[in-house]
């Protein structure tokens, strides 16, 4: 059992409870990883069987066994930028093994916010927890497979922590321009849209304070203004990371992936050290993955369909989009978007 918890990916670290001092492992299969777009409550092919292990016991096992955390490749992102698609593309059994949005990272992200907001955050204890959780999460079916993890964008407050506890980890950061980000968000469900103002408020606390924030009513702004702020805070959050961390993260505008998939896949391959050869990259580009909706396998998808759909959304909502971008410029300055993107990419 000990060996399974430490090394068997069928024992997925799913949750941590700091009140009960327990780790929760879920019984999953290889198909759970390949078929699930999200390794949270929506995951597929899970038996429903859980194992609860006390944190002191599990942490002692990690220490006694001298378990070293494996190098990890992370796909960080601002949401709605085809991160799920790229994660699926990069999953090549025998060479790489991808995990999409494991719940444990979302739990850690929210736990961190709670500890910071309540004044109970202890850096040393926190980093020890993050390191142990990463160690228990990062498993593969074949020893030579490089593990790739795509966290939820809501867990971007863990980027610095994950890079500190695992200096050998490598990362990319997916983003798009503000205009495209607004279009993609107009394509989302009403339920998702209603969550955006609160998310903007949460993210505002995780970057340096600005004068306009004082007394700002985040929760009562409209959907697209909230999306403007989410886009801004996500990019600002990465820019404000210590240089020794931010310079190890390759920023990629996802639009370039759809225009030149081979060029971007080669860049990702090199930066993440995935050792794909030319045949591997050609196979990815021509695979069924590139012609299906990454979150709904039954739906046809490609760059052309995406462009047509987004053009239609833009035409039908152009006045609302322009109003939101004008508001953004009024708050942050006429060239704020160009300045942020330029700063994000200047190291590359």
CA angle 181, 265, 258 (to 5 degrees): 40
Q: In the prediction, which pLDDT does 297 show?
A: 81
Kindly state whether residue 149 falls inside one of the protein's structural domains.
no
Q: In the prediction, which pLDDT does 255 show?
A: 97
Residues 110-141: tens digit of each pLDDT: 999 999 999 999 999 999 999 999 999 999 99
Average pLDDT (274-303) is 94
Neighbours of 240 (CB within 10 A): 12
Judging by DSSP bridges, how do beta strands 11-17 and 22-27 pair with one another?
A: antiparallel
Residues 41-67: tens digit of each pLDDT: 999 999 999 999 999 999 999 999 888
The three-state secondary structure class of 50 is strand
Average pLDDT (200-208) is 96
Count of the separate structural domains present in the chain: 1
Q: How confident is the model at residue 70 (pLDDT cuts 50, 70, 90)?
A: confident
Q: CB–CB of 112/155 below 8 Å?
A: no
Kindly state whether residue 207 falls inside one of the protein's structural domains.
yes
Q: How confident is the model at residue 2 (pLDDT cuts 50, 70, 90)?
A: confident
Q: CB–CB of 228/178 below 8 Å?
A: yes
Q: How confident is the model at residue 1 (pLDDT cuts 50, 70, 90)?
A: confident
Q: Which helix (H) or strand (E) holds 51?
A: strand 50-54
Kindly state whether residue 209 falls inside one of the protein's structural domains.
yes
In the chain, % of residues over pLDDT 70: 99
- Over the Cα atoms of the chain, what is R_g? 20
Kindly state whether residue 228 falls inside one of the protein's structural domains.
yes
Mean residue pLDDT of the chain comes to 96
Structure letter (DSSP) for residue 76: E
Asked whether the predicted pLDDT for residue 221 surpasses 70, the reply is: yes
Q: Per the structure block, which two tokens stand in for 154?
A: 């809501």
CA 45 to chain centre: 22
Residues 245-255: tens digit of each pLDDT: 998 999 999 99
Distance CA 57, CA 52 (A): 11
Asked whether the predicted pLDDT for residue 288 surpasses 80, the reply is: yes
Kindly state whether residue 195 falls inside one of the protein's structural domains.
yes
Residues 145-171: tens digit of each pLDDT: 999 999 999 999 999 999 999 999 999
Q: In the prediction, which pLDDT does 260 show?
A: 97
Output the 3-class SS for 223-243.
Answer: HHHHHHHHHHHHHHHHHCCCH
Q: Closest by alpha carbon to 79, among 48, 50, 96, 100?
A: 100
The three-state secondary structure class of 72 is strand
Kindly state whether residue 191 falls inside one of the protein's structural domains.
yes
Q: CB–CB of 229/180 below 8 Å?
A: no
Tell me the backbone φ, ψ of residue 107, rounded to 5 degrees: -65, -45
Kindly state whether residue 263 falls inside one of the protein's structural domains.
no
Asked whether the predicted pLDDT for residue 298 surpasses 90, the reply is: no
Asked whether the predicted pLDDT for residue 348 surpasses 90, the reply is: no
Asked whether the predicted pLDDT for residue 265 surpasses 90, the reply is: yes
Kindly state whether residue 49 falls inside one of the protein's structural domains.
no
Q: In the prediction, which pLDDT does 347 show?
A: 59
How far from each other are the two terminal CA atoms of the chain, in whole angstroms?
A: 45
**Domain residue limits at 197:** 179-250+302-348
Q: In the prediction, which pLDDT does 346 show?
A: 82
Q: In the prediction, which pLDDT does 22 show?
A: 98
């Amino acid at each position: 059992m000990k060996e399974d918890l430490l090394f068997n990916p069928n024992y997925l670290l799913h949750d941590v409870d700091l009140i009960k001092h327990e780790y929760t492992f879920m019984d999953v299969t290889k198909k759970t990883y390949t078929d699930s777009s999200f390794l949270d409550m929506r995951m597929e092919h899970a038996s429903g069987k859980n194992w609860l292990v006390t944190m002191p016991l599990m942490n002692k096992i990690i220490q006694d066994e001298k378990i070293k955390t494996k190098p990890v490749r992370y796909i960080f992102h601002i949401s709605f930028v085809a991160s799920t698609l790229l994660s699926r593309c990069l999953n090549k059994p025998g060479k790489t093994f991808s995990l999409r949005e494991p719940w444990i990272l979302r739990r850690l992200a929210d736990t961190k916010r709670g500890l910071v907001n309540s004044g109970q955050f202890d850096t040393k204890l926190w980093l020890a927890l993050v390191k142990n959780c990463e160690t228990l999460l990062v498993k593969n079916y074949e020893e030579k497979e490089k593990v790739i993890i795509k966290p939820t964008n809501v867990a971007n407050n863990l980027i610095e922590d994950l890079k500190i506890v695992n200096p050998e980890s490598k990362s990319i950061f997916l983003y798009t321009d503000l205009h495209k980000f607004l279009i993609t968000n107009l394509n989302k469900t009403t339920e998702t849209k209603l969550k955006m103002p609160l998310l903007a408020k949460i993210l505002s606390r995780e970057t340096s304070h600005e004068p306009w924030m004082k007394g700002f009513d985040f929760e009562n702004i409209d959907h697209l203004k909230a999306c403007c702020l989410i886009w801004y805070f996500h990019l600002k959050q990465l820019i404000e990371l210590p240089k020794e961390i931010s310079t190890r993260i390759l920023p990629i505008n996802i639009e370039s992936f759809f225009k030149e998939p081979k060029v971007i896949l080669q860049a990702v391959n090199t930066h993440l050290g995935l050792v794909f050869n030319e045949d591997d990259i050609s196979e990815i580009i021509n695979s069924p993955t590139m012609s299906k909706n990454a979150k709904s396998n039954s739906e046809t998808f490609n760059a052309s369909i995406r462009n047509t759909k987004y053009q239609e959304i833009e035409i039908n909502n152009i006045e609302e989009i322009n109003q939101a971008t004008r508001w953004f410029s009024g708050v942050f300055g006429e060239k704020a978007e160009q300045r942020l993107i330029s700063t994000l990419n200047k190291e590359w």
